[in-house]
Structure 1
Amino acid sequence: MFDSGLTRRSLLTGTLAAGSLGLAGIPLARAEPQWKKFSGSTLEVNLIKSPRGDILQKYEKEFTELTGIKVASEQIPEQQQRQKAVIELTSGKPSFDVVHLSYHVQKRQFEKAKWLADFSAFLKDASLTEATLTESDFSSAGLLYARNQQGEMRSLPFSVDYWIVYWNKELFAKKGLQYPETFDDMVRAAEALTDPKEGIYGFVARGLRNANVPVWTSFLLGHGVDPVDASGNLLTDGPEAIEAAKLYQRLLTKAAPPGVAGFNWSECQSAFLQGKIGMWLDGVGFAPPLEDPTKSRVVGKVGYGVMPRGPKTRASATFGDGIGVTEASQKKEAGYLYCQWAISKLMGGRLLQTGSGVPFRHSVLNDAEIRQGVKMPAAWVDAVAESAKISRLGLPVVIPVTEFRDIIGTGLTATLSGGDPAAEMRKATEQFKPVLERSERA
């Protein structure tokens, strides 16, 4: 097991860089960080209530043992935590030094307001940063989330949710089918598996307005296109976006169970657990119940597949959260040490092994000792590691993310009752365009 006394002592005595946990190619002579430099400080830490927050709180005494820095942390339910963070950061006098943020919702807002301290210089400082913490160890999506347009790192990537395809190996075998390699293969397999008389359907994904947008972006990314480009141009009614909407419509009307227009992830998961669904597209974090014999009829029958290749590329829609230090904090270096500990290989291993989250760091996902302690099947970990290599942001980096999901999601849901994908995407784009423009002017 990774979470052993030896490994813990190795971290606490500052020998991480020279030990077996180091990345290949890291010079062993690099000095260790001065962990005790800010001993006696107290950090106020604002966390999102989640299994990730639980892990951080559970082991924060180890951080104090390592650094001498005391931690006063609180977990707040996600929506309330976001509201509290924005109100206090806007005031310029937040009550916390360290904050947990949802990248896929808050990245642009936090960057535009410059609420977080710049870690760029800290990352290069051997007195603050241990040798295994390198930018190359983060997945591409993690770096996209953490870096701003100026290339500054104002947070550290913490936990990620890659989208994969859960597939029922038993149903595939009965039809003599292989796991799909392309979008076209996925359509063929979904339709071949569908048998309404037997109550079997080849595909399920979110049909509910707002919740359904990541399904569509998963398809759009396979065309090599983001919903909003790097220059801020909205691409939601382009030819690729329309093709992605057509694929969404076809799979959810030709191969999905009745009522799918009202499905969020929970309804999709429930359907897949019954053993009557061929494929389910969603985040890796929904896997544990599938292997629980008290909840699942598909234990031992589940395949975990990397997103099939689209017309231009293979891409895994990615969502995630990070952790940073407020610009207003007078304890930036101490806060940075906490953030570094939070996303360390030790803590990342604990996240992965307990099913509390998936780290952005390649060195955690590829570590054989850590993987041995993971309760999920090896195929799940393989899907996570492979998805990390093809990760792309699953939502645009804009302030009105909720409005984007509401408006685009309405158009997508309309296609399930016969709406024309091209017309619906053009209408939704026209509705969202002024919302986006106003947010950028504010």
Structure 2
Amino acid sequence: MQGITRRGALLGTLAAPAIIERANAQSAFDWRRFRGERIEVSVQTSPRGTLLQQHNREFEELTGIRAGVEVVPEQQHRQKIIIEYASGRPSFDVGEVSLHVNKRQVGRARWNTDIRALIADRTLTAPDFDFDDFGAGMRSYATQADGRMDTLPAFADYFILYYNKELLAAKNVEVPTTWDAMFEGAKRIEDRSRQVYGHVGRGVKNANVVLWSSFLLGTGQRDMINAERQLITDTDEAIWATVQYQRFLRDASPPGSIGFNWNECQTTFMQGRAAMWVDGIGFAAPLENAQRSRVAGKVGYAVVPRGPANHHCALFGAGYGIPEASAKKGPAWFYLQWALGKQMQTRMLSAGAGVPARVSALRDEAAISGSPFPREFFATLLASAPIARAGLPEILPVTEFRDTIGTALTNTIGGADPAAEMRAATAAFRPILERSERES
């Protein structure tokens, strides 16, 4: 491990507060320490990847390190990095990991370096790195079950409540703070003769699981697997979440919702035909585009409603990690500090390239005032950051999970019994999970 001291490695086992205290102390840190080195970076094709390419020269001039930045389409990138990790000779020194898809796989194989040791080393971490600036939800999301932090949080996708201000005001409906209040408000607003509905949400199998998990996170259970890594999607809490899903999609949403993914939901909301929509924050930009959206300037933003026992929003996102097999861990860590530093995270927000994992960017007055979004948007992000929890279970066969549970959810829209569907789906998926746990 290039440039990493034995003392730094030992400090990696300490608790986070001690790590941060040491990292922010006076140090012999030097951005030019690894000048002349070259690293390779592999990220997904996205506005964030484009931003890294556009500003790459800044990193090279700051550090003297040359960085090759490769951007690969999302699905191909996920396949590429797993193949290369498994080979033991990845071509990249910094790689993007979709935490909601590959976290468990990457963590279980210990393919990435535990960056706690890097954070702790005062000669390797800039004094103004400010680890605490990353949202609590994202810090937890980037940490494996055994305590290893094998990625640095990059960007977040919080599920929030979008609402049409005009439709709510016309019926004197307050912005809901509970699921029951949201359903009641949706039914008051509904006017099927005008094709106006109180709610719109994902109904198509696989995609719909992330809406269902938004309900589950509000119960006393919150998780879909227990501490023994066993599936628990047939409990009273999971069935309660399924009942909520059923009534919102069957009784308060447009006909045909059984086939809706996020794009159909977005289109319906943009046309002014739905009053409320719970989905990812990343879908906000088109809503404020006056050339495309009938609701531009009329959109309200709020945290998701509270459940009967807890108040959490579903979280998805990505982290950037350093392969354990890389011989350039020091230079790679310098890249992570720059790429996910306060300046670049604020640029991400200003460019509309995503929601940064750092909280300070959401308070940056220049970014806020120059944004097409109202201040309510940023307040919602700040409020969502500390209550965010993983919206999918951290398992290897996550796609199969979404297909199996998603089919059960879709069946309930047609009138199937929620308890029977969840019990059958759980029984069908349980051996798949058990087999993956044994083989991985």
Classify the TM-score, shorter chain.
Answer: over 0.9
Alpha-carbon distance, 1:146 to partner: 1.5
1:118-129 to 2 correspondence within 5 Å? 118-129=114-125
1:218-233 to 2 correspondence within 5 Å? 218-224=214-220, 225-233=222-230
Letter of the 1:101 counterpart: V
Letter of the 1:342 counterpart: A
CA distance 1:29–1:421, shift in 2 (3 Å): closer
| Secondary structure at the counterpart of residue 386 of structure 1 | helix
What do residues 17-36 of structure 1 show as CA deviations (whole Å, max 9, x unaligned)?
xxxxxxxx999862363111
Structure 2 counterpart of 1:60, from 56, 78, 84: 56
Answering whether residue 367 of structure 2 is matched by residue 360 of structure 1, we say: no
Answering whether residue 391 of structure 2 is matched by residue 427 of structure 1, we say: no
Aligned to 1:6: none
Alpha-carbon distance, 1:349 to partner: 0.3
What do residues 402-430 of structure 1 show as CA deviations (whole Å, max 9, x unaligned)?
01111000000000111100011111111
Letter of the 1:199 counterpart: Q
Aligned to 1:300: 297
CA distance in 2, matches of 1:301, 1:394: 28
Answering whether residue 269 of structure 2 is matched by residue 272 of structure 1, we say: yes
CA distance 1:216–1:63, shift in 2 (3 Å): same
Aligned to 2:72: 76
| 8 Å contact kept, 2:199–2:253 | yes
What do residues 185-231 of structure 1 show as CA deviations (whole Å, max 9, x unaligned)?
01101111111111110001100100000000000001132112343
CA distance in 1, matches of 2:24, 2:329: 27
| 8 Å contact kept, 1:146–1:154 | yes
Answering whether residue 144 of structure 2 is matched by residue 148 of structure 1, we say: yes
| 8 Å contact kept, 2:137–2:386 | no
Alpha-carbon distance, 1:113 to partner: 0.8
1:243-258 to 2 correspondence within 5 Å? 243-258=240-255
Letter of the 1:239 counterpart: D
Letter of the 1:389 counterpart: P
Comparing 375-384 and 269-278, the one that deviates more:
375-384
What do residues 371-428 of structure 1 show as CA deviations (whole Å, max 9, x unaligned)?
2333322111111111112111111111111011110000000001111000111111
Answering whether residue 284 of structure 2 is matched by residue 314 of structure 1, we say: no
What do residues 127-156 of structure 1 show as CA deviations (whole Å, max 9, x unaligned)?
211233344322222122221223222110
Alpha-carbon distance, 1:267 to partner: 0.3
Answering whether residue 263 of structure 2 is matched by residue 259 of structure 1, we say: no
CA distance in 2, matches of 1:146, 1:389: 14
Answering whether residue 320 of structure 2 is matched by residue 323 of structure 1, we say: yes
Comparing 185-194 and 222-231, the one that deviates more:
222-231
Comparing 79-88 and 139-148, the one that deviates more:
139-148
| Secondary structure at the counterpart of residue 304 of structure 1 | strand
Structure 1 counterpart of 2:345, from 343, 348, 366: 348
Aligned to 1:185: 181
CA distance in 1, matches of 2:131, 2:202: 34
Aligned to 2:9: none
Letter of the 1:186 counterpart: M
| 8 Å contact kept, 2:25–2:127 | no
Runs of 4+ in 1 over 4 A off after TM superposition: 25-29
Alpha-carbon distance, 1:112 to partner: 0.8
Letter of the 1:280 counterpart: W
Answering whether residue 344 of structure 2 is matched by residue 381 of structure 1, we say: no
Cα root mean square deviation, aligned: 1.6
Aligned to 1:18: none
| 8 Å contact kept, 2:23–2:126 | no
| 8 Å contact kept, 2:200–2:253 | yes
Unaligned runs of 5+ in 2: 1-20
CA distance in 2, matches of 1:149, 1:241: 22
Aligned to 1:4: none
CA distance 1:260–1:140, shift in 2 (3 Å): same
| Secondary structure at the counterpart of residue 163 of structure 2 | strand
What do residues 258-279 of structure 1 show as CA deviations (whole Å, max 9, x unaligned)?
1001000000000000111110
What do residues 240-259 of structure 1 show as CA deviations (whole Å, max 9, x unaligned)?
11011000000111110010
| Secondary structure at the counterpart of residue 71 of structure 2 | strand
| 8 Å contact kept, 2:42–2:96 | yes
CA distance in 2, matches of 1:188, 1:131: 51
Alpha-carbon distance, 1:165 to partner: 0.8
CA distance in 2, matches of 1:192, 1:168: 14
Aligned to 2:168: 172
Alpha-carbon distance, 1:351 to partner: 0.8
Letter of the 1:31 counterpart: S
CA distance 1:29–1:154, shift in 2 (3 Å): closer
Identity among equivalent pairs (%): 49
CA distance in 2, matches of 1:34, 1:439: 45
| 8 Å contact kept, 1:31–1:127 | yes
Letter of the 1:244 counterpart: A
What do residues 42-72 of structure 1 show as CA deviations (whole Å, max 9, x unaligned)?
1111111111111111111111011111011
Letter of the 1:129 counterpart: T
Letter of the 1:69 counterpart: I
CA distance in 2, matches of 1:347, 1:320: 17
| Secondary structure at the counterpart of residue 394 of structure 2 | coil
CA distance in 2, matches of 1:157, 1:264: 27
CA distance in 1, matches of 2:296, 2:227: 42
Aligned to 1:9: none
| 8 Å contact kept, 1:26–1:132 | no
